[in-house]
A and B are shown apart, each in its own frame.
Chain A
Amino acid sequence: MKPPPFEYFAPTTLDEALDYMADYGDEAKPLAGGQSLIPTMNFRLAQPEVLVDLNGLAELAYIRPAAGGVSIGAMTRQRSVERSPLVAEQTPLIHETMPYIAHPQIRNRGTFGGNLAHTDPASELPAVATALNARFRAQSRSGQRWLTADEFFVDLFTTALEPEELLVEIVIPPLPARTGYAFHEISRRHGDYALVGVAATVTLDDSGLCEAARLVYFSVGDKPVEAVQATAALAGQKLSAAAIDAAAEIAATQDIDPPGDIHASVAYRRHLAKVLARQVLAAATARAKQD
């Protein structure tokens, strides 16, 4: 389990990194925390010709307030996000999610942006970022562009990033007023990829009815899967246990089309999806009432 050979560059500025990405294009792969890429290389399932190591880019490691929300540099370590008082304050859903990502040894090295750009369908952050309407800033030598989560996550391990582009920043906008949030996942062991996981937000209107809700699953498809029919059914409703139950049923049976594997059959995944939807919608509703 030794990785194949590659050419290695360790730029110290973003401009330099973008030059390498532009010069090597398809041959190059950016190396962020490497906590998924290097194991994959050790199994020789990935054989990039060139690695552009982004770990020297101090300019991409930051957590800053941004218009009521938070802006996170792509090379910020997951452990820093987990420990950030600003994140805990401004975007507590992310704060609550971080400990579910693998183990501290991985989060010490793994980066926030690397996790998102890897787009593992079983990973927590893409789903959470989707639920929070995160925006992604991609940059290349020729310029930058902003993408929504829907635009950014394209397919299994595939983002909308062009070969010469790097994800440089993620902005998490603030939650609207009267909004609650929740996250939960079922995994075999602590730190494992989830069998099924879900992030939810619920916004109530003045009269306490559901104004809007988001329910975004992971580990049930090729990328984060939003249960749009379930949440549509909740709009304008009183979020009673019965209404939540009904929405959970829709989510599990209509919104998702989960795969079966050795750890969870299709039926079991649907079942868990329903159980989780009930839990997170109820928890998010309770928080929305307090907000």
Chain B
Amino acid sequence: MSTRYFGQRIKRNEDVRMLTGQALHVDDVNFADMLHVAFYRSRDAHGYIKEIDVSAAQEREGVVAVYTAEDLGDYWQPGPLLVPPPPTIKGLIFNQRTQVPLAKDKVRYVGEPIVMVVAESRYIAEDAAGDIWVEIEPLPAVIDIEQALSEDAPPIHDDLDSNLAAHVIQRKGDYETAVQQADLVIKRKLKYDRGTAAAMENRGIVAQWDAKSHKLTVWDTTQAPIVIRNGLAAMLGLSEHQVRVIAPFIGGGFGPKIMMFYPEEVLLPWASMKLNRPIKWIEDRQENFFATTQERGQVHEAELALTRDGRVLGLKHNFIHDGGAYIPYGLTVPLNSQANALGPYATPNYYSEFKVAFTNKPIVTPYRGAGRQHGVFVIERMLDIAAKELDLSPIEIRRRNFIQPEAFPYNHEIIFQDFAPLVFDSGNYEPALDMAVEMIGYEQFIKEEQPRLQAEGKKVGIGVAAYVEGTGIGPYEGARITVEASGKVSVASGIGTQGQGHFTSFAQIVADQLGVDVRNVYLVTGDTDQFHWGAGTFASRGAVVAGNAIHSAAVEVRKKILKLASEKLEAAEEDLELADGQVRVKGVPETAINLGSLAVMANPLRGAVRPGTEPGLEATSYFGPESGTTASGVHALIVEVDPETMLVEVKKYVVVHDCGKVINPLILDGQIHGGVAQGLGNAFYEQLHFDENGQLLNASFMDYLLPTALDVPRMEIGHFETLSPLNPLGIKGAGEAGAIPAAPAFVQAVENALGEAGPEILEIPLSPNRLFELVLGVGLTQKTR
């Protein structure tokens, strides 16, 4: 092999198009006769629809159609349940209630669509939406997740007695026995509030029904085009081959774009068929705060039982998870919280019980981390508090509880979100901790810098958090690889891409197998006409699952190349090598044939293809892991809190990360940086503030604060590679890792900075205002004066 690309910091293939403004996004798709959609959305969080008057909207010039739920007829159906609850968890309660295309009878959150307006321009559609009159008989809004489950809370779904959406208990060993054996039991209540993914590109859909070719084409900002295609075909009574869903370049996904089906995804294709015209809806930023799913509301009551030398005997936690108004995504998020509270630690006894509450807020589905950070927050906080009680260093208590490298595969004996038992495939946690401690300068900071700076009145602190991330879950992905007559190689996969660098990392895998330049590998993804099968980009699975499918297909193509070349060059396969776009005889480079010529020979214009063989240098493969692979890492940071203003500055940030074999370290670093930035946003800047009526008080980028370049610190990254035994490439997922421990680590550092006299911090997100309140609560302000 001439060049090995796997593991190299290769510049991205897709960049040139993006950097020159030539990358196609959904809103870039335009047709001359295109119609535009705007929605009338509920202004009330909870209430009965009494009257809808659309007459003024219908009369407005430029309005083509106005639809309410009634107009949809039988097409009006609650959406599908994306992920059912794991069938293997005993005694589980799950009250399936999924979103509807347009609210009928009742509204359940502010922003729920009630009327769809179709007009000649988006401007006119918005004018017409303003003409609509909807009378709502309001009901009390259910906002607080603890109160949502109280007896006097009005049920959001009238056919249920309460707002209980789900109830799950999972256990390992016997927690009560652990308590009896324990020297110390810590109990705390921890809160985690809502944020939003805020991808820079809002959602959007263009649907084009072509009556003459009898085909529906849909451009959609989805992370799962194939699932959308299949669902739309079924809903619209079309063959899957009549529906083409294209997820072109997407301006960030982060999870909410995997939600299926959003009301707009159901409505636009239907309307295009009905009106026989192309139709577009582009979510605006204000809509995004209501119409796109959100995450993160949970309240935990946690208990940790330990020996006096800091060994964890058992963990118990009861938590309530905010499901929002509907629960189309099943239990993925709270199951992740449940699994991640175990962290990288050997916890012999575990009792975890959660309830999911319906609330009058936007739907909750995974957003980068998908519940994992809640679990990390719980265990990392509890360990820190225990360390203080036991007079241990936070480093030491973690070290004493890590699962040891020889203990893998390690079975946690509970069920994970992929329905498989939670088994960690491989890992080596202590060296990562050591590296992070070294990189952040932990000892020196604690012994020298912190005392010196604190003596100067500076509130500096350090935080360290370890985490694991279950990644790369099934069901499967596939890929078709073809060597073309030009010698270039095409790769088709169904997975879809939102900036992860798939055009490059996947090309690297293929280029190594086939001995071609990485720039000559062309990936098509996210177009259902190019590849029929797949699930989507979520759960940090793209590189693991699609990457291995692509690897497998490349291996098959390589075999075909060698077989055919062996015939043509009259040399044994083992004497051949693939390099520089050629197959050649080792040591005799002039005896060679280039891949393009070989591809032509494999697809001849004359002569029969022999029985039992296939034309072309092409192969299709699938990869479906039985269970997820577990990535891990440690984040450490140093912060300074201004004791007067409670503004916090991150002075240093270190990430040590282990996601198995790394395809492209440059891309991986980028993934981690971005994750940390979102984690820090979650920790200190971003919070959705709902009032008691369910009105979101900060539905704009003026008031929902995304971190800027001045808020995100420079990060240093250390890599470990503990290979996964679950896939041939040995890789683990990395997409969400940066975001998972950042907020918990930040909280620890801030608490550490505020010192012994400061508050114990048991909530995320923080803000200067909230820190001021917390500090006042324990009188720090007076003390520092």
Say yes or no for A44: interface residue by CB 8 A criterion. yes
Q: How many A-B residue pairs have CB under 8 A?
A: 63
Task: Give the chain B neighbours of A191 by CB distance below 8 A.
Answer: 708
Question: Does B174 sit at the interface, judged by CB under 8 A?
Answer: no
A188 to B711, CA, bound (A): 9
Assuming the A-B contacts A5-B127, A264-B769, are A192 and B285 also in contact, with contact meaning beta carbons closer than 8 angstroms in the complex?
no
A190–B123 CA distance with the chains assembled, in angstroms: 33
A258 to B646, CA, bound (A): 19
Q: Indicate if the CB atoms of A2 and B123 lie closer than 8 Å.
A: yes
Q: Which residues of A contact B705 (CB under 8 A)?
A: 188-189, 192
Within 8 Å CB of A4, what residues of B? 127, 130
Q: How far is the CB of A3 from chain B (nearest CB, A)?
A: 8
Most chain A CB inside 10 Å of its own CB: which residue of B702, B767, B769: B769
Q: Across the interface, do A267 and B776 meet the contact criterion of CB distance under 8 Å?
A: yes
- Do A2 and B697 touch (CB < 8 A)? no
Task: Check if A262 is an interface residue, CB within 8 A of chain B.
Answer: yes
Across the interface, do B773 and A263 meet the contact criterion of CB distance under 8 Å?
A: no
In the docked arrangement, what's the CA distance between A195 and B697, Å?
A: 16
A118 at interface, CB cutoff 8 A: no
Chain A residues whose C-beta falls within 8 Å of the C-beta of B122 in the assembled complex: 2
Residue of A nearest to B684 (CB): A188
B-contacting residues, A23-62, CB 8 Å: 43-44
Which listed residue (A44, A186, A188, A265) contacts B773, Cβ 8 A?
A265
Partner of B710, one of A3, A186, A189, A265: A189
Whether B647 lies near A186 (C-beta < 8 A) is yes
**Segment of A149-157, A167-175, A229-237, A268-276 engaged in the interface with chain B:** A268-276
Does B772 sit at the interface, judged by CB under 8 A? yes
Closest chain A CB from B56 CB (angstroms): 15
For the complex, is B703 an interface residue (Cβ under 8 Å from A)?
Answer: yes
B393-442 interface (Cβ within 8 A of A): none
A1, CB-defined interface residue at 8 Å: yes
Chain B residue with minimal CB distance to A279?
Answer: B644
> Does A263 lie within 8 Å of B767, measured CB to CB?
yes
Q: Would you call A136 an interface residue if the criterion is a C-beta within 8 Å of the partner chain's C-beta atoms?
A: no
Chain A residues numbered 250-290 whose CB sits less than 8 Å from any CB in chain B: 262-265, 267-268, 271-272, 275
Q: With the chains together, A268 CA to B777 CA distance in Å? A: 13
Tell me which of A44, A268, A271 contacts B126 (CB under 8 A): A44
Is the Cβ of A262 less than 8 Å from the Cβ of B644? Answer: no
Minimum CB distance partner of A269 in chain B = B769
The residue among B687, B697, B772 with the most chain A CB atoms within 10 A of its own CB is B772
CB distance from A2 to the nearest CB of B (A): 4
B645 touching A272, Cβ below 8 Å: yes
Judged by a CB distance under 8 angstroms, whether A183 is at the interface is: no
Is A217 on the interface with B (CB-CB < 8 A)?
Answer: no
Chain A residues with CB under 8 Å of B767's CB are 188, 263
Q: Is A20 an interface residue (CB 8 A)?
A: no
- Give bound CA distance, A275 to B781, whole Å: 12
Docked-complex contact B708 and A267, CB < 8 angstroms: no
Cα-based distance from A193 to B698 in the complex (angstroms): 14
Chain A, range 153-202, C-beta contacts under 8 Å to B: 186, 188-193, 195
**Do B698 and A262 touch (CB < 8 A)?**
yes
- How near does chain B come to A286, taking the closest CB pair, in angstroms? 19
Say whether A263 contacts B286, CB under 8 Å. no
CA of A44 to CA of B130 in the docked complex: distance in angstroms? 10
**In the complex the two chains form, is A265's CB within 8 Å of B285's CB?**
no
Determine the interface band of chain A, counting residues with CB < 8 A from chain B.
20 to 34
User: Chain A's nearest CB lies how many Å from the CB of B738?
Assistant: 20
Residues on the A chain within 8 Å of B43, using CB: none
Question: Is B768 at the interface (CB under 8 A from chain A)?
Answer: yes
Which residues in chain A, 213-250, are within 8 Å of chain B measured between CB atoms?
none
Residues of A within 8 A of B768 (CB): 186, 188, 195, 264, 268
Q: Is the CB of B645 within 8 A of A265?
A: no
Interface string of B744-782 (1 = CB under 8 A from A): 000000000000000000000001110011001000010
Chain B positions 623-665 with a Cβ under 8 Å from a chain A Cβ: 644-647
Chain B: number of interface residues, binned into ranges: 20 to 34
From residue B473, how far is it (CB to closest CB) to chain A in Å?
A: 36
Q: How long is the Cα–Cα vector from A108 to B336 in the complex, in angstroms?
A: 47
B689 is an interface residue with CB less than 8 A from chain A: yes
Q: Which of B697, B708, B773 contacts A189 (CB 8 A)?
A: B708
Instruction: Verify B685–A1 contact, CB threshold 8 A.
Output: no
Q: How far is the CA of A272 from the CA of B643 in the complex (A)?
A: 11
In angstroms, Cα B129 to Cα A44, docked, is: 12
Docked Cα-Cα span, A44 to B781, in Å, equals 43
Q: From the candidates B284, B703, B711, name the one contacting A263 in the complex (CB within 8 A).
A: B703
Interface contact A268-B685, CB-CB below 8 Å: no
Which of B130, B284, B644, B698 has most A Cβ within 10 Å? B644
Q: Determine the chain A residues whose CB is within 8 A of the CB of B697 once the complex forms.
A: 262
A263 to B284, CA, bound (A): 24
Name which of A192, A195, A263, A264 has the most chain B CB atoms within 10 A of its CB. A263
Complex contacts, A192 vs chain B, CB 8 Å: 702, 705
Beta-carbon contact of B698 and A189 below 8 Å: no
B703 surroundings in chain A (CB, below 8 A): 262-263
| Chain B: CB-nearest residue to A275 | B644
User: Is the Cβ of B285 less than 8 Å from the Cβ of A1?
Assistant: yes
**What residues on B are CB-neighbors of A188 within 8 Å?**
685, 705, 767-768
Which residue from chain B places its CB closest to the CB of A271 in the assembled complex? B772
Q: With A and B bound together, what is the CA distance between A209 and B422 in angstroms?
A: 73
Are the C-beta atoms of B769 and A268 separated by less than 8 Å? yes
Partner of B645, one of A186, A189, A190, A263: A186
With contacts A189-B705, A192-B705, A268-B773 known, is A1 near B284, CB below 8 A?
A: yes
Which residue of B130, B708, B776 is within 8 Å of A190 (Cβ)?
B708
> With A186-B645, A189-B711, A190-B708 given, is the CB distance from A1 to B286 under 8 Å?
yes
| Chain A contacts for B776, CB-based, 8 A | 267
Q: Shortest beta-carbon distance, B129 to chain A, in Å? A: 10
The complex places the Cα of A3 from the Cα of B768 at a distance, in Å, of 35
Chain B 117-143 per-residue mask, 1 if CB under 8 angstroms from chain A, else 0: 000001100110010000000000000
Q: Is the CB of A275 within 8 A of B708?
A: no
In the bound complex, what is the Cα–Cα distance between A274 and B697 (angstroms)?
A: 27
Residues of chain B in range 696-731 having any CB-CB distance to chain A below 8 Å: 697-698, 700, 702-703, 705, 707-708, 710-711
Complex interface residues of chain A between 41 and 98 (CB less than 8 A to chain B): 43-44
> Which residues of chain B are within 8 angstroms of A189 by Cβ–Cβ distance?
685, 705, 707-708, 710-711
> Which of chain A's residues have a CB closer than 8 A to the CB of B645?
186, 272, 275
CA A268 – CA B776 in complex, angstroms?
10
Q: Which residues 307-348 of B sit at the A interface, judged by CB distance below 8 A?
A: none
Q: Name, among B645, B685, B711, the residue most crowded by chain A CB atoms within 10 Å (CB to CB).
A: B645
Nearest Cβ on chain B to A176's Cβ, whole angstroms: 31
Collect the chain B residues with CB atoms within 8 Å of residue A271's CB: 772, 781
Q: List 8 A-B pairs, Cβ < 8 Å.
A: A1-B284, A2-B122, A186-B645, A186-B647, A189-B685, A189-B711, A262-B687, A268-B769
8 tightest Cβ-Cβ pairs between the two chains A and B? A1-B284, A2-B123, A262-B689, A275-B644, A268-B772, A190-B710, A268-B769, A264-B769
Q: Which residues of A contact B (CB under 8 A)?
A: 1-5, 43-44, 186, 188-193, 195, 262-265, 267-268, 271-272, 275
For the A-B complex with A264-B769, A267-B773 known, give 17 more contacts whose Cβ atoms are closer than 8 Å.
A1-B284, A5-B123, A5-B127, A44-B126, A188-B685, A188-B705, A189-B705, A189-B707, A189-B708, A190-B710, A192-B705, A195-B769, A262-B687, A262-B689, A263-B767, A264-B768, A275-B645
